[in-house]
Structure 1
Amino acid sequence: MPRENVSATLSVAAPAAKVFAVLADPTTHPTIDGTGWVQEPVDRAPLTAVGQTFRVDMHHAAHPDGDYRVVNEVRAFTANRTIGWATGYEKDDGEVEFGGWTWRYDLAPTSRTGTDVTLTYDWSAVPQHVRDRGITFPPFGPDHLINSLRHLAGIAA
């Protein structure tokens, strides 16, 4: 079975609590993003629990609308250790449909002032009807994850 996730790890010169606080703040996500697609958070409240949703305005030249909005639902949350979300969109009827891909950050403290951060993008739950649209997974280049972690490190330091 082919691998359906990619990960990157970077040592960050900041304590896990500081790194986690940056990740739990949707207002930092445009700066962390390594693609430039994330524009502005619509929901600006800190992420605090599994099940919480937050919306983000996006831009991608290859998207049919160019500008669009995603809805993220927190799926993993252990303070100072793990945070992750699934990405979807709000349909005309107000229901949210998730695409089957997730983003996850795992934090491993290495000292009082250092943390190894692993970012994983997983598309293993993408249904066939989404794959049939011709979307390539992952939809970004190989440097995206490490660039995002470098941006995160710069904010957290």
Structure 2
Amino acid sequence: MTDNTENEKVVVAHREIAAPADRIFALIADPAQQPRWDGNDNLAEAPAGQRVRGAGEVFTMRITQGGTRENRVVEFEEGRRIAWLPSEPGQQPPGHLWRWELEPLGEALTRVTHTYDWTGLTDEKRLVRARGTTAEKLMVSLERLAAVAES
């Protein structure tokens, strides 16, 4: 299921995944695992050993277009919620946020909500790509995440 807010700057997709929340969260909170299920085909690789454990942490990711992104974790609840603000190394985040929320529905079933929020985006160069990040694109990440978590 996908939703877009009225102003289209908060894009949301939901999916139930037949796996425990802790297994799914481990795939999201470990940046080295993210390229396995990234539906935007934007993430190339991340150094191992960056498993996120709390808000305030920063993890790095090499992107497919070249370059590196620093991701500042701004929301964190183990097994339930994680959100980060990406930026170029050493720069302030331009104002877009990626969030994952997990709601256990049973021991082996989890509702996963993926949100892209660009209400605070100030970098004009990024607006075209932000507008192109649709709920359908978020759903591709959810589908790929499900395939990995359910295997």
TM-score range, shorter chain: 0.7 to 0.9
SS at match of 1:106: strand
Counterpart of 1:110 in structure 2 is: 105
Counterpart of 1:147 in structure 2 is: 140
2:127 to 102, 120, 135: 135
Structure 1 residue 3: Cα displacement: 3.2
Q: Distance in 2 between matches of 1:8 and 1:83?
A: 15
Count of residue pairs the alignment pairs up: 144
SS at match of 2:95: strand
Q: Given the two structures, how large is their TM-score scaled by the length of structure 1?
A: 0.85
Counterpart of 2:26 in structure 1 is: 21
Counterpart of 1:69 in structure 2 is: 68
Q: Distance in 2 between matches of 1:12 and 1:96?
A: 35
1:122 to 103, 117, 121: 117
- Aligned sequence identity (%): 28
Higher-strand-fraction structure:
1
Higher-helix-fraction structure:
2
Instruction: Check 1:8–1:141 CA distance in 2 against 1; reply closer, same or farther (3 A cut).
Output: closer
Structure 1 residue 151: Cα displacement: 1.1
Instruction: Check 1:119–1:134 CA distance in 2 against 1; reply closer, same or farther (3 A cut).
Output: closer
For residues 17-56 of structure 1, give each alpha carbon's deviation from its aligned partner in whole angstroms, at most 9, with x where no partner exists: 1111111111111112102110010363211010110110
Structure 1 window deviating more from structure 2 (106-115 vs 141-150): it is: 141-150
RMSD: 1.7
Structure 1 residue 144: Cα displacement: 1.5
Q: Given the two structures, how large is their TM-score scaled by the length of structure 2?
A: 0.88
Give ranges in structure 2 of 5+ residues lacking alignment.
1-5
Give ranges in structure 1 of 5+ residues lacking alignment.
61-66
Higher-Rg member (1/2): 1
Residues 1:32 and 2:24 aligned together? no
